[in-house]
Amino acid sequence: MSEKEHEQTGPIFAAIRRGKVKPGTAEEFAARVKAGALPAMKKMDGFKAYFLVAGAEDTIIAVSLFTNKAVAETSTQTLMPWIKENLGPLLASPTEAIDGEVIVSDTA
């Protein structure tokens, strides 16, 4: 692919969520997200990408990318009933939310 094909036209917005899962539950958390939340997100207006990162000390970081700012800002609230039912039992602490426009981006 040429460099031009990788360029993004228009803004991208990120919805980032960080929380802690109960010890030993990161893989189950990921499986539930892949089976339930991810298909729902893919149907959201402007969905571009999703990344789930398992960090140190049972930290989980989710990054959702959208071309629609409003959807990015409300994506967690939109999925809240599913999150409470399916992921709540695996969480050790509430999640922290950060939303914003991506101002630097580069993909291979």
- Go through the domains of the chain in sequence order and give each one's CATH number: 3-101 (3.30.70.100)
Cα–Cα distances in angstroms (integers) from residue 59 to residues 14, 50, 75, in the given order: 19, 17, 20
In this prediction, residue 49 carries a pLDDT of 96
**CA separation for the pair 6, 107 (Å, rounded):** 7
**Run means of pLDDT, 10 residues per run, the chain, 108 residues:** 54 95 97 96 96 96 96 90 93 92 90
pTM for this prediction: 0.86
In this prediction, residue 3 carries a pLDDT of 47
Order of strands, sheet of 96-101, starting from the edge strand that comes earlier in the sequence: 47-54, 59-66, 13-20, 96-101
In this prediction, residue 6 carries a pLDDT of 47
**CA separation for the pair 34, 48 (Å, rounded):** 15
In this prediction, residue 7 carries a pLDDT of 53
Q: Kindly provide the residue ranges of all beta strands, DSSP E only, lying in 24-106, ordered along the sequence.
A: 47-54, 59-66, 96-101
In this prediction, residue 108 carries a pLDDT of 81
Residue in 99, 87, 100, 101 with CA at minimum distance from that of residue 19: 87
